[in-house]
Chain A
Amino acid sequence: MRQIDAAKITEEVKKLCIEANYYLGKDVMDALEAGHKKEESPVGKEIISQILENDKIAAEGVFPMCQDTGAAVVFVEQGADVFVNGNLFEAINEGVRQGYKDGYLRKSMCDPITRKNTGDNTPAIIHMNVVPGDKLKIIVAPKGGGSENMSFVKMMKPADGIEGVKEFVIDSVKNAGSNPCPPIVVGVGIGGIFEKSAQLAKKALLRTIGSKHPDPFYADLEAELLEKVNKTGVGPQGLGGTVTALAVFVEVHPCHIASFPAAVNINCHAARHKEAVI
């Protein structure tokens, strides 16, 4: 067994919270540059150029790219041969606490009914998985409220088939309109069970823009959905245009013979996520 100190995990989570909010990934920047060239609406073009300028200012490290610095969503892949010396979840929450304080990030977590703020952006939303090996991988993906509010789970009928999924995705993007701050990244979870489909959709948002699903059937579906989403006309900030999404990613899981769950999780153009391997 390889031993990892909980303090090391706190340190990494803290760093990742800050990095994710200030430094947008190169894949997203490249996709925005390409979108700027492609956009047909002059207003849409201007919006994308402001977004690009914004993300360059954020990368100077003073202003986070968006004032909504998100709920701290943390994915952990723990190697089966790793022993964490301490409480893993407490270590992650401490990292979030320190990162949001020292990084001058907004604390957005509150009680759902009283709306009282927890004050330090905890608790983190933690997704845990065990994988082979002796490493521990942490991905921090701060998620904004505007785009999360425009996400949906639908328990479809098996007979709805692939066409049902396509219709669900397009309708979701149209109904979301300007609210999730397009150009968006669309995560689609197909199958699993109620909550699994939502987790798949969220996990899909972690993919690198430009990557394709390994199964050619789903790779084609991703390409087709992206083309259709960009034909909705929603455009940058919902003011009309040809670049509504930068990418559509699909993740799939087997499901019950009676069920056909699907989920759409939308990310704004600040498609933030940073990872570290310990």
Chain B
Amino acid sequence: MAEVKRLNTPLTDEDIEGLKIGDNVLITGEIFTARDAAHKKMVEILDKGEKLPFDIKGQLIYYVGPSPTRPGQVIGSAGPTTSGRMNKYAPRILEAGSKGMIGKGEMGGGVPDALKKNKGAYFIVVGGAAALISKSITANELVAWEEMGAEAVRKYTVKDFPAIVAQDSHGGNMYVEGIKKYSKI
């Protein structure tokens, strides 16, 4: 494996400023899961000026919808889902203190500006590397909104969770720069 940076959550502004696109990272600590429905609800809560059901300061949000858990396992396969669907919500979540998101695919809309302004980073995990990712998840507990089923907010305890910085707090976007570098037509 190429050189890696180790990150322990919750993250600080300094952690984020030290990251640039293309960095391989291993994340250890806790990460929180949320996708479409939970984001809608989180933003509603924030807009009302109320408190979220977990302390979001310095935390990362993982966009995921795992396969069923086998008996005796912590989780099923837990790879990323497409992040672009959360473009509308992510800036508000960053503003509330989150230090970034984990998913797959480019994030647009207000996200690049929000990453700069709030010092955040967007990480990707390899789409379709769900079995590998699951090996780094050591605990999995419900945080809020059980009624949302697969979309409920959960807390994963992770050890050496493998991710790559795709969009950083300095305006770097690997989807643009990486493709430009290798495009020959």
Which residue numbers of A lie inside 8 Å of B, CB to CB?
40-43, 45-47, 49-51, 53-55, 57-58, 62-69, 104-106, 144, 146, 170, 177-179, 181, 228, 231-242, 268-270
Are the CB atoms of A232 and B183 closer together than 8 Å?
yes
- Decide: A51 near B69, CB < 8 A? Known: A231-B183, A238-B175, A242-B182: no
Question: How far is it, in angstroms, between the C-alpha of A260 and the C-alpha of B105 when the chains are bound?
Answer: 32
In the complex, chain A residues whose CB is within 8 Å of the CB of B68 = 104-106
In the complex, chain B residues whose CB is within 8 Å of the CB of A47 = 126, 164
Are the CB atoms of B126 and A234 closer together than 8 Å?
no
Is B148 at the interface (CB under 8 A from chain A)? no
Q: Which among B1, B84, B162, B179 has the greatest number of chain A C-beta atoms within 10 A?
A: B179
Contact of B178 among A63, A170, A240 (CB under 8 A): A240
Is B169 at the interface (CB under 8 A from chain A)? no
- Decide: A240 near B82, CB < 8 A? Known: A42-B2, A54-B131, A63-B130: no
- Decide: A235 near B64, CB < 8 A? Known: A67-B76, A104-B69: no
Is B180 at the interface (CB under 8 A from chain A)? yes
Cβ contacts A to B, 7 pairs, < 8 Å: A65-B130, A67-B64, A68-B65, A237-B124, A238-B105, A239-B174, A239-B175
Interface residues of B in 119-170 (CB under 8 A from A): 124, 126-135, 162, 164, 166
Is B34 at the interface (CB under 8 A from chain A)? no
Q: What is the size, in residues, of chain B's interface with A at 8 Å between Cβ atoms?
A: 47
Which residue numbers of B lie inside 8 Å of A, CB to CB?
1-2, 22, 24, 64-70, 73, 76-79, 81-82, 84, 104-106, 124, 126-135, 162, 164, 166, 174-175, 177-185
Question: How far is it, in angstroms, between the C-alpha of A233 and the C-alpha of B176 when the chains are bound?
Answer: 10
Are the CB atoms of B82 and A179 closer together than 8 Å?
yes
> How far is the CB of A99 from the nearest CB of chain B, in Å?
13
Are the CB atoms of B162 and A50 closer together than 8 Å?
yes
- Decide: A238 near B106, CB < 8 A? Known: A51-B126, A69-B67, A232-B185: yes
Question: How far is it, in angstroms, between the C-alpha of A104 and the C-alpha of B66 when the chains are bound?
Answer: 11
Extra contacts besides A69-B77, A106-B76 (16): CB < 8 Å: A42-B2, A43-B2, A49-B1, A50-B129, A50-B162, A51-B126, A58-B77, A63-B131, A67-B76, A68-B65, A144-B128, A146-B127, A181-B127, A238-B175, A239-B22, A240-B181
Question: How far is it, in angstroms, between the C-alpha of A270 and the C-alpha of B175 when the chains are bound?
Answer: 21
